[in-house]
Structure 1
Amino acid sequence: MENNNITLVRVNSKPVEVEDIQPIQETSDIHFMAANTQPVKLDDLQKKHTIPVFAKDNESTISHQEFIETVSIVTEKIFGGEQILKPAVRVSHPIKGRVPTAVGKPAKELLEHEKTLYFERIAFAIEIPSINDRVAENGLNLTIGGVRAYNLENLYSKKSEERFKLFIGFQNKVCTNLCISTDGFKSDVKVRTVAELANAAFNLMGNFNVYKEIEKFSSLPQTMITEQQFAQIIGRARMFQNMPYKQRKDIPQFPLMDSQVNLVVKDYYSDESFCRNDIGNINLWKLFNLFTGANKMSYIDSFLDRNVGCQQFVGGLNEAIGLNRHHWFVS
């Protein structure tokens, strides 16, 4: 496995105030996403869950546990001197089965050793609390992770390249929302072996510039939008979802679905940390966190893409408003 001459950059080396010190968690926060998922322990994946194979040649897929362990090992090699928490893992879409001796047995009579199980989709996050910074008084911890969805593979064929998604970004400790941009995201990693997967993780982490990433978010609290502009964004978001493709292809992509837009509006009024101010204005950092909070209700296979989409959309608003440029959603 090659190191590829990776250059590392550390974020925050300034002194920490006593009141800022938090108790050390045993594992990364499991609440980085919510809807349609459940937490699972890595030990359970290793000991209790079956591993899908490619049907035509019976070759094993890269298992969920191998995926997590590979990224964990790369993380430890690159950030070896840092505090690295255990992975937080969430899964969805269980695929249930049974051993051959239990054929025909009623489901309610199945014994535990007669059941088989694997999850079609998995997401995990590895938090590094010792690499951190603040935006608008919100603590951000460096976080690394990935997503795997077997529904994107053709398991009825022979073994071929398998698809993974990798990310490195920050987690907002106020709300556990992930803050990810395109610089810290690989949306379609195609590999055949664990070694190739490790190399992709090395490249992503090694090329990630934490200072540049923080800069993207640091300017957002300084930009305010009015209640009228917020209402226009919400209204045009609903228009965008139903516009013909030819009309919307040149418009900035809106990342959320209608049900998630409803959550954004609800939290605009009621979220304790990111709601509007007394006259209805809201800064773009708060708007971004309303978006990423609503994104927690996405399915695992679209969760990271939409999270990155939230950063692109709000970043586009910030640039347009700051330079007084046209932006369809607020013009």
Structure 2
Amino acid sequence: MEATQTLARVPVPAMQINRELDRKSSSRSFIEANTSGVPFEEIRRDHIIPVFVKDNEPLISQSDFIAATQEAVADLFRGETILKPEIRVSHPIKGRIPEAKNKPANQLHEWERTLYYERMMFVVEVPTIYDTIGGNTLTLMVGGVKAYNLDNLYNKKGAAEHFKVFIGFQNMVCTNLCVRSDGYVEDLRVTDLNQLREGIYNLLGNYDQHRHLRQMQTLTQYSLTERQFAQLLGRCRMYNYLPPADKKLVPELLYGDSQLNSVTNDYYRDLSFCRQEDGDINLWKLYNLFTGANKSTYIDQFLDRSVNALDFTSQIQDALDNRSASWYLQ
């Protein structure tokens, strides 16, 4: 029942590309939670770089990670419009220079403060590669996560550093990110910038964007009744309380009560993805309710839940198509 999709590529004159490059990816935030937006130049110029404690050697900086991803995107998608990255950060680590160690905090000058953010996520939009699903325009997105809390800073240079890298699509109606497992490296472990670049290139080269779009397109062809939706939400709330042995037999769900509350609320009230008048909701809309609820997730868990939303919804689709049984709909 899969529909064939063809990505649209729009020729863009060189002068227009130059103007587009000054735009930032996404005019609205792709993640909320406790994050704030920062420009790339601020990260590169003002943020200090954590070091390995044993030898004082620096880790790969967040700005180098972003720049390496931009270079790979520009290389592999030549001729396309590529926007400036949108960057979100959280968990600030504040400090001060030694000369200001005895000053009260409210008397510190800006040049006496030091700062870096423990967690950072960014996206780079390629708006000339796009498609439409369920009346929603989706554009290609590439990005990653650097969370220093996942690294062992009490080590020395040469120890593995951890990165998350992804490629997928963003629903421009709501800025929800749509990520599939073959477009996501959950734990890219590297020891230097060259290995990081290689990992980014491998991910981008192996991603099947047409298959991803076909999978999402088929979701528009299946619907849940109001009764089935209520059954599904009830089972979702029960999942985290299942005995460990029973939970192993059920498809994984990474969403907690706060996200499920958002899904329930938006089933009735979301302007783009709410139920129909008879209470039915198609799986494309259901999927977007989950990816929308994911915006309240912290940076280091965001991509795992993004992938889980598609896996979970596709499992529901298989059950409706009688290809498998689903505990969530029993």
If the TM-score is normalised by the length of the shorter chain, which range does it land in? over 0.9
Residue 251 (structure 1) shift = 0.1
Give 1:12's aligned residue.
8
In structure 1, C-alpha distance between the alignment counterparts of 2:200 and 2:30, rounded to whole Å: 20
8 Å Cα contact 2:9/2:128 also seen in 1: no
Corresponding letter in the other structure for 1:27: K
Corresponding letter in the other structure for 1:32: F
In structure 2, C-alpha distance between the alignment counterparts of 1:41 and 1:147, rounded to whole Å: 16
Residue 11 (structure 1) shift = 2.3
Q: How does 1:293-312 map to 2 (within 5 A)?
A: 293-312=292-311
Aligned residues: CA RMSD: 1.6
Identify unmatched segments of 5+ residues in structure 2. 1-5, 12-18
- Please state whether the residue corresponding to 1:32 is helix, strand or coil: coil
Residue 245 (structure 1) shift = 1.5
Residue 13 (structure 1) shift = 4.5
Find out whether 1:135 has 2:133 as its counterpart.
yes
Residue 41 (structure 1) shift = 0.3
8 Å Cα contact 1:136/1:221 also seen in 2: yes
Residue 325 (structure 1) shift = 3.0
8 Å Cα contact 1:255/1:313 also seen in 2: no
Give 1:120's aligned residue.
118
In structure 2, C-alpha distance between the alignment counterparts of 1:314 and 1:111, rounded to whole Å: 51
In structure 2, C-alpha distance between the alignment counterparts of 1:52 and 1:87, rounded to whole Å: 22
In structure 1, C-alpha distance between the alignment counterparts of 2:242 and 2:304, rounded to whole Å: 21
In structure 2, C-alpha distance between the alignment counterparts of 1:258 and 1:233, rounded to whole Å: 13
In structure 2, C-alpha distance between the alignment counterparts of 1:37 and 1:273, rounded to whole Å: 24
Q: Which runs of 4+ in 1 moved over 4 A?
A: none
Give 2:66's aligned residue.
68
In structure 2, C-alpha distance between the alignment counterparts of 1:323 and 1:201, rounded to whole Å: 38
- Please state whether the residue corresponding to 2:296 is helix, strand or coil: coil
Q: How does 1:177-216 map to 2 (within 5 A)?
A: 177-216=176-215
Q: Could you list the per-position Cα deviations for residues 224-277 of structure 1 after superposition, in whole angstroms to 9, with x for gaps in the alignment?
A: 001111111111111111112211011011121111100000100000000000
In structure 1, C-alpha distance between the alignment counterparts of 2:80 and 2:208, rounded to whole Å: 17
Give 2:41's aligned residue.
43
- How many residues align? The count is 316
- Please state whether the residue corresponding to 1:242 is helix, strand or coil: coil
Corresponding letter in the other structure for 2:36: Q
Give 2:87's aligned residue.
89
Give 1:27's aligned residue.
24
Q: Could you list the per-position Cα deviations for residues 116-175 of structure 1 after superposition, in whole angstroms to 9, with x for gaps in the alignment?
A: 000000000000000000101100000000011100111012121100000000000000
Percent of aligned positions with the same letter in both sequences? 47
In structure 2, C-alpha distance between the alignment counterparts of 1:103 and 1:326, rounded to whole Å: 63
